Chain A
Amino acid sequence: MTVKVQREDFDVGAELAAMTAGRTSIGGVTLFVGLVRDMAGGEAVSAMTLEHYPGMTEKQLEAIEAEARGRWPLDDVLIIHRHGRLEPGDQIVLVATASAHRQAAFDGCHFLIDWLKTKAPFWKLEATPAGERWVEAKESDDEAASRWARDA
């Protein structure tokens, strides 16, 4: 039920604790944490800058979250996505889903990160020894998202 778009880092343990505190109906939480890699396409990456579309980003993440909650019985959902300049090893994104049972938590989390990658308006600019370059969208990301498509 929470979407945060921020420059600041986040503390996964603190977020998990806040999500579950006093909520004993939750039987399991799935967490996905995306990190900045030090290599991309065979080239070293020294930094990455994430640009986004303020307003639309929050709107799209909230819509994705509502879609997940409509599909699975989720007690809680948390999406944190950072923007600005990040370095290898830095956390980029956190998706957390809580449910009474593990299947909904796993599936909801997987769906959210796959859909987020094709719908949330973020763009990555990588710094490499050859200069800066905009990351190109991957067909494999579209395929991953399309696995969750279903007839209306």
Chain B
Amino acid sequence: MKILYFAWLRTKIGIPSETVELPSGVTDVGGLVDWLKTRSPRHAEALANSKVVKVAVNQEHVPYDHPVAATDEVALFPPVTGG
């Protein structure tokens, strides 16, 4: 599974993307974010406040109860500030 990070999530975690093997038992976005927090202290700190961690699955905005599958592209980012 490809995970992408943007804006301060990218700088806090220190990498723009990583490829991970989806652990069995992780079935939705909320579970994935919780599991990502265990990957390093930087992940844990960056992902601590789920209110400011938005998620897109396959380039669509989704809520935390949205399902995830091994072939998905998942992006994590702060609330958007374009325009």
Interface residues in chain A, defined as those with a beta carbon under 8 Å from any beta carbon in chain B: 34, 50-53, 55-56, 59-60, 81, 92-93, 113, 116-125, 134-137, 141
Chain A residues contacting B75 (CB-CB under 8 Å) are 53, 56, 121
A44 CB to nearest B CB, Å: 19
CB pair A123–B59 under 8 Å, yes or no, is no
Contacts A134-B7, A134-B8: A52 and B82 contacting too (C-beta < 8 A)? yes
Chain A residues contacting B60 (CB-CB under 8 Å) are 56, 59
CB pair B6–A121 under 8 Å, yes or no, is yes
Chain A residues contacting B79 (CB-CB under 8 Å) are 136-137
CB pair A56–B59 under 8 Å, yes or no, is yes
Could you list some 15 contacts between A and B, CB below 8 A? A34-B83, A50-B82, A53-B6, A53-B56, A59-B59, A93-B82, A117-B80, A119-B61, A119-B80, A120-B82, A121-B77, A123-B7, A124-B81, A136-B78, A141-B83
CB pair A123–B61 under 8 Å, yes or no, is no
Q: B4 within 8 Å of A by Cβ?
A: yes
Q: How long is the Cα–Cα vector from A80 to B29 in the complex, in angstroms?
A: 31
A61 CB to nearest B CB, Å: 10
Q: How long is the Cα–Cα vector from A45 to B8 in the complex, in angstroms?
A: 18
| CB-contacts of B14-73 with A (<8 A) | 56, 59-61
Which of A113, A123, A135, A136 is the one whose CB lies under 8 Å from B77? A123
Chain B residues contacting A50 (CB-CB under 8 Å) are 82
Chain B residues contacting A123 (CB-CB under 8 Å) are 6-7, 77-78, 80-82
Q: How long is the Cα–Cα vector from A56 to B78 in the complex, in angstroms?
A: 15
Other A-B contacts than A59-B60, A121-B77, A123-B81, 7 sampled, CB-CB below 8 A, are A56-B56, A81-B83, A119-B61, A121-B75, A122-B83, A134-B8, A137-B79
CB pair A121–B8 under 8 Å, yes or no, is no
CB pair B56–A120 under 8 Å, yes or no, is no
